[in-house]
Each structure stands twice: as C-alpha cells, then as structure tokens.
Structure 1
Amino acid sequence: MITTSMKKVEVYAALDSCENVTTYLESEKLYWYKELVEMGGSGRVCRVTFYAPVHALVGILEGLAGVLDLRRRENTVIVVDVETGIGRPYKTTGRRFRQLARGLLARPLPALQEEAVEKSSLYPAQVLLVALAGIIALAGLANNNPYVIIGAMLISPILAPIYSFSVAVNLGDERTALRSIGTLTILLALAFTSTLIVSLAAEAAGAPLGATRELLLRTRASLSDLLLAMLLGAASVVAVSSNVTEALTGVAIAAAIVPPSATLGWSVAANPALAPGSLELIMYNVAGLLAGGTLTIRVLLAVGKQS
C-alpha cells in the first residue's frame, strides 16, 4: 500500500467555540467535517474532524490553541495516526463531495433563488466587458496568440447566467431560467456584433483578417466539443458552489463561448462559408454548459438531502 504521512485531528469544542474552529480551518484551506455529539455531564459539543500533513501539524495546532480555550473541559484536541493508501483518496473525495452537497443544501432555498435571480440580470459593465472580450479574443485568434485569447477569457463575465439557469431549473423557477437564457443570448450577440464590426472595418480598410489556425479550429463542431462543454459546466458549478472566485471559474465558460463567438463574427465578414460551423460550435458549447451545470446542481441537491 502506498502511504503518506498524515494525521487525523479531532477537535471537540463547546458550541459557542465551534465557529471559531471552522473559520480558522477554512483560513488554512483545510477540509473539515462537523457533527454534534453528546459529552457526558456537559451536554452536546461540536466535533470537527480534519486531516493534516505531519510537517504542518505543529503550526495548525498552535493556530487552534489561539482560537480555542483549552482550559475549558469541553474543548479538547486529539491527534490520531492514520495510514492513507490508494483507496483513501477515493473515500476522501466522496466525503468532500458530500460536504459540498450539504453546504449547498444548507443554504435556504430562498437565498439560492435570490442568487439565481441576481445572476440572471444584465448590467452595463457586463455588456461592455463582453464586447471588449470579443474584440480582444478576435485579436488573439487573428494573430495565433493564445495569451491574448486567455486575457479575453479573464475579463468575460459570462458564467453568471449559466449558473443562474442551472439553479433556477432545479428550483422550478421558469421565469429566472428564461431570463438567464435571454441574458446569455444578449451577451453572445454582443460578442458576435463587436467582432463583426471590427472584421468589417478591417475589410473596408484593406487589411482583412486572415484565416489563421486558431480561427479555423473554431469553425467546426463535434460530439467531443459537447462532452467537453458539459464537463466545463459541471466543474464551474462545483467551483462556484465552493466559493471559488468567479473570475477564475469563468475562464472555463469563456473558453467555450467567447472565442467561437469572435470566430463567428469574423467568418460572417470575411468567409461566410465557415459561419455555419462556428455557429454550430457555439450551440454545442452552450447546450453542453447548460446541461452540465444543471445536472451537477441536481446531483448536489440530491446528495445533500441524503447526507
């Protein structure tokens, strides 16, 4: 068995101290599991369990001592030796997934619905950023420059309506789901229109944008594009549910939508024969992102209810 040096730490804390413990562990980027247990003669206490590498254990214990009054008999820290092997990562992954699901379900449904409504809205800065992202993506595609393409993805706020749609569908909020689709359609139209204008301007100026490799790669679609988009949609929803910054998780969404939209604007202006392929790729990616995100939210809610 392949082993690694890990320690299992169980923290027993009075109920009024439990939040201090979990807040500290979150600040240390540690995964933890919490439950209420009975302590003889003292009523219910909170038990927080987590795993930590040996080399970091001393610092973690010192940090716990700073947020937990160990003079109180309800507050105790127990360190246990564990042997982790090939089977352990799979069990740990399952526990983390269940924890994520419980965290999503722990939020009141009205709060989830309110978040979905908020993310389905269209705001001026979003409009401007998507238009600029399309132009920047076109510049990168026309020059075979992946760094510029990535820069366009970083500023493109397209994740919000996809996440909103995924949540709204699972909550049965048809109005918000339709509003999310409308917002996404407007954003895609903006990316297309801005790149179409730039491409037409280049044609009129006698400096047409050539058919580069990066552009041609986005003029055809396949089943693998649909499957990849589903995975991206699932991963992005999990990331957002884990409170990962939207700017980071939105890169995955933008990668699937912004460059193809820019390619569609270019192809309509410079090579209309390639436009159907670009449009098909956009449709594949949008369908995959929405399906992947919606199914993932449904699984998280189902697992959270069973946990």
Structure 2
Amino acid sequence: MRLIKVLVPDGKLSTVLDVLDRENVDFVVTEGVSHDRDAPGDGDDSTTLVEFPLPTQAVGYVLGEIRDAGLDDSEYTVVTSVETAKTRHLQELENRFVAGVEEDDSVAQEEIRAKALGMHRGALTYYALTVFSAIVAAAGLLLDSPAVVVGAMVIAPQVGSALIASVGVALDDRRMVSLGVRDQLLGFAAAIVASLLFGLGLKSGFFIAPSLNVSAVGQINQRISPGLLSVSVAFCAGAAGAFGLATALPVSLVGVMIAAALIPAAAAVGIGIAWGLPGVAAGAFILLVVNAVAVNLAGFVVLWYLGYRPDDWGGDDLPTLLSSYRVSVTTVALLLVLFAGFGGLLVDQIAFDNEVNGAIDDVLEEERYAELELRGVDVELGLVSRFDQQPEVTVTVARPVDESFPALADRLDRAIDDRVEDDVLVSVEYRDRQRSEPTNGDGQNSIGGRAVTGPAYL
C-alpha cells in the first residue's frame, strides 16, 4: 500500500481531481500550500496538497494518468509506504489492480528509482564488504569448498551497483549510470587486488604449497573456462534482480545470484596472478567481464520490457529512441562492444569444448572401452595457448576394479588433437567401480544360486 502526496497548482486542481474521480480514487486536499518559501500561501502561486492511498500496483498507472492530464509532478511528489488504509473505494481499486484484469506487479517509475538508489552503500561499507567477500571467495576456491564460496556471495554488495546501473540505463539517468558503473569497476578492482594479496600471503607463508596447481582445483577450474552455462547464470541473475526491483519483491536472494556470477570470478583472477598463471587469470577475467556485461544488459532489457522509459520518452520510432536515450545509447553500445569482443573469446571456448567433448565421446564409444563410464570432463581455457601454455583436458572415468587402460590417455590425446588446432595435454583420472551380482529377489544369485553379499562400491 502506498500514500501519494502531490502538490498541485490551483490552475490544475480541477483537472487532477477529475482524473482521481474517474479512477475512483479517494483523496483529501489541503488548500493554501506554497512550494516557494517567499510566496504567500494565498498568492498567485498558491497550490493545493492532494493526498490519496493506492495499492502499490496502481501507483504507476494513476500517476501516469495525472501527468497525461497536464500536471508536472516534478515540483513535489512523495510516495510513502503505509501498513493499511480504509477508504470508500479502496476495495474496488484492490480488486482492479491486485487481483483483477489490470493486475500488474510493477512499481512506479519514481519508486524504482528510489529503491535502486536506496541500495547504494557508502564507500567504506561497499569496498570493505567487497574486500571481505573476495577474500572469503578466494579461500573457498582454494579449499575447493562450495559452502565457503556461497558464504562469500552472501556478503558481497554488488547487487546494488548492478541494479543502479541497469535502472539508470533504462531511465537515461546519467547520475545513476555513472554511479553504478563506477562502483562496479572499482569493486571488481578491489576484489582482484584483495584476492591477489591474499594469495601471495598464503604462498609466502607456505600456508599453501606454492607448487599447487590451482587450475586443477575444482572450484577454480569452473571459473577459468567460461562457457554458455556460466553466462546463462549471469543473464538470469541480472534479469531476476530487475524483476525483483521492479515488482516490489525482495532482491536480497537475487543479490546472492548476482554475486555468484561476479565475485568468485574476480577472486579467481587474483589467484591466477598470485600463482603466476596467466592462462588462469585470463580465463577468469574473461568470465568476469562477460558476466558483468550480461548482468547489466539483462537488467536493462527486463526493465525496458516492463515499460520503464526516460521522462521525455515520446514514442517507439528510432529517432525518438535515440534522442530520448542520450546517455543510455552510448552505455548500451559500449556494453555490446565489450560483450561482442569478450563474447567472441567465449564462443571460441564453447567451440573448443564441443570439439573436445565430441572426441572423448567417440573414443569411449569404442568397444574396448565399453566398461568405462564417463564421470566428468574439465577443459582448460583454450586461450592459454596464447601464453605459451599447453591447454589441458582432464577426463574422469569409472572403471571396474582391477582393470587398467594404460593407453587411454594417449588415445584421447590423438583424438582431440585431430579435432582442435592446439596441442592438448590429456590427463585421465580413474575411479574404481564394483557392482554386486544381480539377484532373483530372495537374496540368491540369479545365475549360480549363490548368495552375493556386501555393498557395491563406486
């Protein structure tokens, strides 16, 4: 429920009240109010304060009708939350906008701007939480602990800066765009530096062996080889954040998803630099940039779809669009250029992954490997070859106990090399598998009549 307070010039009062009467909105008026301290309340500039309660879903529509009637509500308009209200026609408005044919969860443009700016944090709070979350994320990555990484996402404050930027682009608000983009860029830099210093401290103090192959750690490996699934998370996180912001739904949980797409990747960049592995740092940085752009673009697209436009929006034709979005067109163009550039590397990686997976499937379908079960494939970023590193593919398979396949790694290596241009190093990890014999239902072996006891081990 919202309480709207609008200061209306006396010359527009009858028009505004006619709109409220037409929409069955109950109101009260306070006459003789002036927005100018030096102007007397009963002078030529006298105004009237009109107050009326509305369901949250009706605020945008009613304010839009008042603007269309000729009122410039930029002088004084206040939208506040109230617990409850009782008026003659309020039930009709709730039936109409909350559970009726005009049901709409979206909030008013003024409210979404205020909500987004309300998520902004002071510099000390924002950067302190960013550093803390980056260090926790780096620790979780090195520990290969998903729970610790999730903990880092909970305290990360990136949801506010991302949504401020998206709202700013949708409303063509230069201040919001600048604020959101600045906080994101400086926040990513702070996260990378914090995880870098943390990693160097761990190495120099021998808390973690400097010779550790960090690219083989599962949680890190997931962040250094960006793919379609990773980017899908970022798109959905940005879209969900915009929906939550624009429909009066809580965005706290969505903030965890946005942080999931950004903070671990930033921490992986710092770890890659600390361990002197440019391929790891490059892969994580590509994922960070692509995910950040995806979050912001998805947020803008959702807000645009929900009908949020600049104040001077006047139509759907391209010239009007370009003139109304003076700041946003430049911002969106820059985001698209970044996404196209880094997305091109992502497309190359996806193609590299597809070729590797296809080669592995072809080999394991051969009759001599019929007993093997594929359990996982980790593909290092193909970009590492540009840093004089050899891309590595780790294949995890389950095999029967006491059976060996000494030539499998070489066979996979040849098959993958035939498909990709780079010389790939293949590692095979085996997991022993043991199954019980099938029984006939009474505990007896269905073939030999002998009971088979003991669990099956995977």
After TM superposition, the score normalised by the length of structure 1 is 0.64
State yes or no: 1:243 paired with 2:237.
no
Which of these two proteins has the greater Rg computed from alpha carbons? 2
Matched residues in 2 for 1:228 and 1:189: separation? 22
Aligned to 2:224: 219
Matched residues in 1 for 2:151 and 2:220: separation? 16
Query: What CA deviation, in whole Å up to 9, does each residue of 1:137-156 have, x standing for no partner?
Result: 11111112111111111111
Matched residues in 2 for 1:44 and 1:153: separation? 45
Q: How does 1:155-194 map to 2 (within 5 A)?
A: 155-194=155-194
The question of whether the paired residues in 1 share the 8 Å contact of 2:163 and 2:242 is answered with yes
Aligned to 2:197: 197
CA apart distance, 1:203? 1.2
Amino acid at match of 2:145: N
Amino acid at match of 1:273: G
The question of whether the paired residues in 1 share the 8 Å contact of 2:171 and 2:308 is answered with no
Matched residues in 1 for 2:175 and 2:53: separation? 40
Aligned to 1:136: 136
Amino acid at match of 2:262: I
CA apart distance, 1:14? 9.5
2:285 aligns with one of 274, 279, 288: 279
Q: Which runs of 5+ in 1 are unaligned?
A: 1-12, 24-30, 37-42, 51-91
CA apart distance, 1:247? 3.0
CA apart distance, 1:219? 0.5
Secondary structure of the corresponding residue to residue 248 of structure 2: coil
Query: What CA deviation, in whole Å up to 9, does each residue of 1:76-129 have, x standing for no partner?
Result: xxxxxxxxxxxxxxxx9x979x6123x2xx343xx5445545545642111111
CA apart distance, 1:239? 1.5
Matched residues in 1 for 2:121 and 2:185: separation? 12
User: 1:116/1:20 Cα in 2 relative to 1: closer, same or farther (>3 Å)?
Assistant: closer
State yes or no: 1:294 paired with 2:300.
yes
CA apart distance, 1:46? 3.9
Matched residues in 1 for 2:138 and 2:90: separation? 58
User: Greater CA deviation, 289-298 or 167-176?
Assistant: 167-176
The question of whether the paired residues in 1 share the 8 Å contact of 2:26 and 2:53 is answered with no
User: 1:45/1:170 Cα in 2 relative to 1: closer, same or farther (>3 Å)?
Assistant: closer
Matched residues in 1 for 2:288 and 2:266: separation? 7
Structure of higher RCO (CA pairs closer than 8 Å, 6+ residues apart) = 1
Amino acid at match of 2:290: Y
Matched residues in 1 for 2:203 and 2:120: separation? 36
Secondary structure of the corresponding residue to residue 206 of structure 2: coil
The question of whether the paired residues in 1 share the 8 Å contact of 2:116 and 2:245 is answered with no
CA apart distance, 1:248? 1.8
Query: In proportion to residue count, which structure has more helix?
Result: 1
Count of residue pairs the alignment pairs up: 232
CA apart distance, 1:272? 2.7
Query: What CA deviation, in whole Å up to 9, does each residue of 1:28-47 have, x standing for no partner?
Result: xxx99xx99xxxxxx96642
CA apart distance, 1:173? 1.6
User: Greater CA deviation, 255-264 or 224-233?
Assistant: 224-233
CA apart distance, 1:297? 0.7
CA apart distance, 1:291? 0.5
Secondary structure of the corresponding residue to residue 49 of structure 1: helix
The question of whether the paired residues in 2 share the 8 Å contact of 1:15 and 1:46 is answered with no
Q: Which runs of 5+ in 2 are unaligned?
A: 1-23, 28-51, 63-87, 314-458
User: 1:298/1:95 Cα in 2 relative to 1: closer, same or farther (>3 Å)?
Assistant: farther
CA apart distance, 1:180? 1.2
Secondary structure of the corresponding residue to residue 233 of structure 2: helix
The question of whether the paired residues in 2 share the 8 Å contact of 1:199 and 1:269 is answered with yes
